[in-house]
Amino acid sequence: MEEKELPYVLTDTIGGPHGVYLEHMEFMKKYFNLVAMKEFPENQKYLGEKIKAIYIWWQKPAVNRELLQSLPNLKIIANFGAGVDHLDLKLISSFGVKVTNTPLAVSNATADLGMALMLASSRRLVEGCQITVSPDTEQFAADWLGEDVTGATLGIIGMGRIGYKVAKRAKAFDMKILYHNRNRRKEEEEQAVGACFCEKMEDLLQQSDFVMLVVNLTPQTHKLIGKRELELMKPTATLINICRGPVIDQDALVEALQNKVIKAAALDVTYPEPLPRDHPLLKLKNIIITPHIGTATKQARWLMMKSIVENIFSALNGLPIPNEVFP
């Protein structure tokens, strides 16, 4: 019996620093014929009919009307990661195409990074490393101090999967946990982590020693934290962002850090990424910035890839789709 042809899946690039990992290819080839974007224009007539899915890797390839029109048999766009703010969901839906993401695969690694940023900032780990390795260091200062995380108050803005996993970790540090969310968690979920709901975000900002942002980027959350919100925070507080850069008004953050309106910030995300080399945030000492590495572990990336494969396989075989995103 003739073997059934594997479905064709379009992605941006394969291999290299920005492409689909080569170590993932062996697994993916069991299910799909993966087509790199550079191959598509040369064989558009043939591949356009064949391609049934798009594998979005690091927000590429860009999905626009022109691409959608060139893929008449497209069934699904499978996004690598949880955030889909780079996709026009209404446009995609108008072509009858489904969208998926990988929320379960990213939550542990991202929550871990949130805790790492909080600890690194509070205990001044980056500064400490620089002092330790500096050729100018002759002795360590006894008055070089950080702040305790244990017993401090953590305010989580966005208590979805990742936010809740942050709360679980913070509970182990005996932190007082406040949270603000569109929808209040069930009472048993709150009790399990010792979290208190703040209906008004302002109340959380005023009480927290650490404020962690874990929201989706939407029109409602764009510049959610601006000058007014920063001024509500304690002057001893630290702002941590592990979701999307545009959730913070960066100009207001620069001003707040320069003028000691808040003590510090720790960001895994900015806008743009990377920041221009002359950006004022890069010149400040009371900030830590990491290169958007919330999911950057071998284990998380492998789980994300497998989740994408499952999403595509389900969509193309008429099965329930595990992680569908609706407009």
Residue spans of the domains in the chain: they are 8-105+297-325, 107-289
96: left (phi over 0), alpha (psi -120 to 50) or beta: left
pLDDT number for residue 46: 95
Report yes or no: 164 and 184 within 8 Å, Cβ to Cβ: no
- Does residue 1 have a pLDDT over 50? no
d(CA 176, CA 196): 8
Assign domain 107-289 to a CATH class. Answer: alpha beta
Its pTM stands at: 0.94
pLDDT band, very low/low/confident/very high, at 270 (cuts 50, 70, 90): very high
Task: Give pLDDT tens digits for 111-124.
Answer: 999 999 999 999 99
Question: What are the catalytic residues?
Answer: 244, 273, 292
To which CATH superfamily is domain 8-105+297-325 assigned? NAD(P)-binding Rossmann-like Domain (3.40.50.720)
Q: What are the pLDDT digits (tens) for 123-170?
A: 999 999 999 999 999 999 999 999 999 999 999 999 999 999 999 999
Among residues of the chain, what percentage have pLDDT more than 70?
99
- The 10 Å Cβ neighbour count of residue 174 is 12
The pLDDT, as a whole number, for residue 4 is 83
